[in-house]
Amino acid sequence: MKARLCLGVYATNAYCFEGLGVSVYCMEELSYCLKEHAFLLGTEIMSDELLHFIGSDCQVPELERQLYPMVHQKGSLSVFVATILDYVGFFEEKDIKNVEDTVRLGSGLSEHEKKKRQIDNLLERKKYYAAIEAYNQLIDRMEEEGKSNPQIGGFIADLYYNRGVVYANLLLYKQAAESFRESYNWKKDDEALRGYFFARRMELSDHEYVALVAKHPECYGISMQVEQKMKELAEQWQESPESMGLDNMRRWRTTGDSHKYYAECDQIVKIIQEDYRNCI
């Protein structure tokens, strides 16, 4: 492993990439952020605020001077990013070339597509509440346009579908079902329909769910797929470490082994708390 000298200083105040939900404090962190989120970057990062962070907060004025014309003459985003990576020297030349190519490919996306990718990134990082708010904002902007432009109907359907995935991860099955249904209304896709029935299956009692399926005989095949998948998931759960842990807890509570029981409870609470912090 090669040793590398750090460039500049560690800033007192972080620079925040609002669209990515990422904050950086030094040039190495900035380089890593640009590389890892290359496909999500937009020209909005070419700003005086970033130049100030580089030149003043991190005390790398020479790089700031190199970047200044690109910002004020609306230069190439891919060249802007590659210039930063090359100057910092945190990555190999071949890696920098890959990042430059990735940024160039991403620049062909519309602003709406790029915004969706940024929100999808929040979903992947389990920033669920931030993702819901961002999906809602983008849906509000796109729906009116979608009524007069059917070509973007599929894009809106994808926004609703991904929002449904977020709600399902939060165990908010009613909201998830509504999102999947809206997705299906915009684009008649079986995946959205399966998502809808999965969410309703989790939300409703057995009796209520059977009544729902009976009202939609045209969806019988989809409902059978849902039942088969539910059966497979139940079998996987029975074999999982989490299920075995709960079985141990039941046994400890029954036998009066309170020390082991409460120790396991504390561990589960810590895991849940950490998951909650991560999704904010």
Which phi-psi region, left, alpha or beta, contains residue 271 (left: φ > 0; alpha: ψ -120 to 50)? alpha
The pLDDT value recorded for residue 104 is 85
Mean pLDDT across the chain, nearest whole number?
Answer: 86
Read off the pLDDT of each residue in 62-77 and give the average, rounded to a whole number: 94
The pLDDT value recorded for residue 272 is 61
* pLDDT confidence tier of residue 277, bands split at 50, 70 and 90: low
Question: Tokens 């996306």 map to which residue?
Answer: 109
The pLDDT value recorded for residue 266 is 72
The pLDDT value recorded for residue 271 is 66
* pLDDT confidence tier of residue 278, bands split at 50, 70 and 90: low
Read off the pLDDT of each residue in 96-113 and give the average, rounded to a whole number: 83
- Token pair listed for 152: 């973007």
Enumerate the β-bridge partners of residue 22: 17
* Cβ–Cβ < 8 Å for 137, 112: no
> Using CB atoms within 10 A of its CB, is residue 80 exposed (0-12), middle (13-18) or buried (19+)?
buried
Question: Taking 50 as the threshold, does the pLDDT of residue 280 lie above it?
Answer: no
Topology given in CATH for the domain delimited by 111-238: 1.25.40
Question: Taking 50 as the threshold, does the pLDDT of residue 1 lie above it?
Answer: no
Among 57-66, 138-147, 238-247, top mean pLDDT goes to 57-66
* Closest to 278 (Cα-Cα) out of 195, 155, 193, 169: 169
* Cβ–Cβ < 8 Å for 162, 119: yes
* pLDDT confidence tier of residue 71, bands split at 50, 70 and 90: very high
> Using CB atoms within 10 A of its CB, is residue 199 exposed (0-12), middle (13-18) or buried (19+)?
buried
Question: End-to-end alpha-carbon separation of the chain, Å?
Answer: 36
* pLDDT confidence tier of residue 27, bands split at 50, 70 and 90: very high
Of 67 and 260, the one with more pLDDT: 67
* pLDDT confidence tier of residue 163, bands split at 50, 70 and 90: very high
- Give me the amino acid identity at 82: A
Of 249 and 225, the one with more pLDDT: 225
The pLDDT value recorded for residue 16 is 94
Phi, psi values for residue 22, rounded to 5°:
-125, 140
Q: Give the residue extent of every domain in the chain.
A: 15-106, 111-238, 241-279
- Which of these ranges, 87-91, 147-151, 178-182, has the smallest mean pLDDT? 147-151
d(CA 204, CA 173) in angstroms, rounded, equals 9
% of the chain beyond a pLDDT of 90: 54
Question: Taking 50 as the threshold, does the pLDDT of residue 84 lie above it?
Answer: yes
Question: Taking 50 as the threshold, does the pLDDT of residue 3 lie above it?
Answer: no
What single string gives the DSSP state of each residue in 111-150?
A: HHHHHHHHHHHHHHTT-HHHHHHHHHHHHHHHHHHHHH-G
d(CA 14, CA 122) in angstroms, rounded, equals 20
* pLDDT confidence tier of residue 203, bands split at 50, 70 and 90: very high
Phi, psi values for residue 156, rounded to 5°:
-65, -40
Read off the pLDDT of each residue in 149-171 and give the average, rounded to a whole number: 91
